[in-house]
Amino acid sequence: MNTKVSLQKCESYDKQEVADSIKALLEPLGSMSAFVKKNDIVLIKPNMLSCKEPERAATTHPSVIEAVVRECFDAGASEVWVGDSPPAIFGRTEDFWNKTGFAKATETAGGKMLCFEKDEKANVNFKVFGKEVTASVIKKVFDADVVISLSKMKTHNLTRITGAVKNHFGFIPGFAKALWHKKFTKVNEFSAFVTELARSLPVKLHIMDGIEAMDLQGPASGRVKKNNILIASESPVAVDMGFCKIVGLKPESVPIMKYCKSIGWGPASFNDVDFVGTKVEDCIVKGYIVPPAPPVYLIPDFVLELIRKMIWTGPNLKPNKCVKCGRCKNICPAKAIEISSNGAEFDRTKCISCFCCMEVCPIEAIEMKASPLMSIILKLRNVRNILSRSKKNE
C-alpha cells in the first residue's frame, strides 16, 4: 500500500491563512483527530536551529506552530508542549524562544514551552551498520501520548537537505549532537545514525513548513526561498519524498533517503507515494538550489588519506564578518577551531566537515569552501547533470 503525502499551497504566514491551510493539509489524513484524542498530552517538536527571527527561514515559523497547537486542542488534547534543542545554547533558552517567536505563538494558542536541556533523559538503543549505539534523548518523547514533528524545508551542506527525518536529531539535547557528528564523520554513517534514531522514536505525525524555505548554503545561512507549500504524512520519509518531488531532487541523491531505501523504511520512490491535496504540478518549485553531495565521502579511507590535502570541503571565514564570539570553537566536536585576532581559524587536519560551526554562527560569517581540485570535480559533475537533464528533455 502506498503512503499518503498531503500537499497544501499556502502563500503567506498570515495567521488565518496558515490556520486554514493546516486544517486543509490534515483533512486527507483524517484531520488532527486521527492523531490526537481527548485528554491526550501532545509534544510538538519544531526546528529551532538557531536564535534568529522567523523571516530568516532558519526555523519553523511561529504561525505554523500556533496553528498546529490550536488544532491539537480542538481535537481534545489536555496539554500541548512545544520544544526543541539547538546544537548549542549560548545564554538563556528563553532568548531562543523569544527571538524565533516560538514562545508567543505557543502561549497565544494555550500551549507550554519545554526546555529540552532541563527535561529528564531516556536512552534509546539501535544499530548503525551492525554496531550497537545508545543515544540519550528527552524523556518527554516517550511520556507524551502524541508526538508531532514540525520540520523546516531547508538545504544542508552535509546531508544536502534537512527535513522530516533529520528533525528527529533535535530530540538529542544540546552539545551532545556535536559529539555524534564526531563519532560518525562520514555523511553515509551520519545519515544512517539519524535514520536509525528516527526509527526508534514514536513520532506519529510529520508536518513540514515550506512556505518560506531555505536553499543554497543551509541550514542556517542560506537564501530565503518562497516555496509556498506545506507537507504532511504519517511517515517522515514520505514527507522528505514530497520535498524532493517539489524541488526536483532525486531521492537517491540524498544520503538519508538512500539509506532509508536500503533498509526498506518508508517509500522507496515517488511511485510508492500517493500525493493528495493540492495537485503536485501546482506545487513544483523552480530555482531551488541544493548543495552537491561532496564526492569525498565516496572515496575509500586509504585513498582519502593520500589525497586529503588536495580534495576537501570545509568551513571558511567570510572577510570582515567574524565578531570572535567563540561559539564555533565551543561547538566544534573535532576541536579544529581557534579564535585569533583575525577571527575564527580552522585546522583542516582536524576538521571533519560537519559544519556545526556554520549552524551556530549568529551572524552567518562562515561559508562552505572547497579545495581547487574539489571545485573542479563539483563543476564537472554539475555539467554532467545539466547534460543528462537536457537529453531527457529531448
Question: Average pLDDT in the 15-38 region?
Answer: 98
Q: Is residue 134 part of a domain?
A: yes
Give yes or no: residues 272 and 386 share one domain: no
Give yes or no: residues 266 and 324 share one domain: no
How confident is the model at residue 386, as a pLDDT?
52
Tell me whether residue 300 is exposed, middle or buried, using C-beta atoms within 10 angstroms of its C-beta: 0 to 12, 13 to 18, 19 or more.
exposed
Q: What is the tens place of the pLDDT at every residue in 3-25?
A: 999 999 999 999 999 999 999 99
pLDDT at 308 over 70: no
Three-state DSSP class for 341? coil
Give yes or no: residues 259 and 322 share one domain: no
Question: Average pLDDT in the 290-310 region?
Answer: 65
- Whole-model pTM: value is 0.86
Question: Average pLDDT in the 39-68 region?
Answer: 96
- 28 touches 277 (CB < 8 A): yes
The single residue listed with the C-alpha cell 570572535 is 324
- Report the C-alpha gap between 243 and 275 in whole angstroms: 12
Give yes or no: residues 223 and 318 share one domain: no
How confident is the model at residue 89, as a pLDDT?
63
Q: What is the tens place of the pLDDT at every residue in 127-162?
A: 999 999 999 999 999 999 999 999 999 999 889 999
- Structurally, the chain folds into a number of domains equal to 2
Q: Which residues contact 340 (CB under 8 A, 6 or more apart)?
A: none
Residue 181's H or E segment, with its range, is helix 176-183
Query: At 326, which CATH number?
Result: 3.30.70.20
Domain boundary among 233, 249, 282: 282
Q: What is the tens place of the pLDDT at every residue in 276-295?
A: 999 999 999 999 999 987 65
Helices (H) and strands (E) in the chain, counts: 13, 15
Give yes or no: residues 273 and 357 share one domain: no
Query: At 225, which CATH number?
Result: 3.40.50.11440
Give yes or no: residues 278 and 328 share one domain: no
Work out the pLDDT band at 244, boundaries 50, 70, 90. Answer: very high
Give yes or no: residues 302 and 255 share one domain: no
Question: Average pLDDT in the 93-117 region?
Answer: 95
**Domain extent for 330:** 295-393
Domain boundary among 225, 250, 282: 282
- Report the C-alpha gap between 296 and 379 in whole angstroms: 14
Q: Is residue 290 part of a domain?
A: no
- Report the C-alpha gap between 126 and 135 in whole angstroms: 9
Give yes or no: residues 144 and 187 share one domain: yes
Give yes or no: residues 273 and 337 share one domain: no
Give yes or no: residues 332 and 241 share one domain: no
pLDDT at 298 over 70: no
- Report the C-alpha gap between 228 and 288 in whole angstroms: 12
- Report the C-alpha gap between 310 and 305 in whole angstroms: 10
Question: Average pLDDT in the 249-259 region?
Answer: 96
Domain boundary among 227, 253, 282: 282
Give yes or no: residues 276 and 191 share one domain: yes
Ramachandran quadrant class, 277 (left: phi over 0; alpha: psi -120 to 50; beta: rest): left
Q: Is residue 99 part of a domain?
A: yes
Give yes or no: residues 350 and 270 share one domain: no
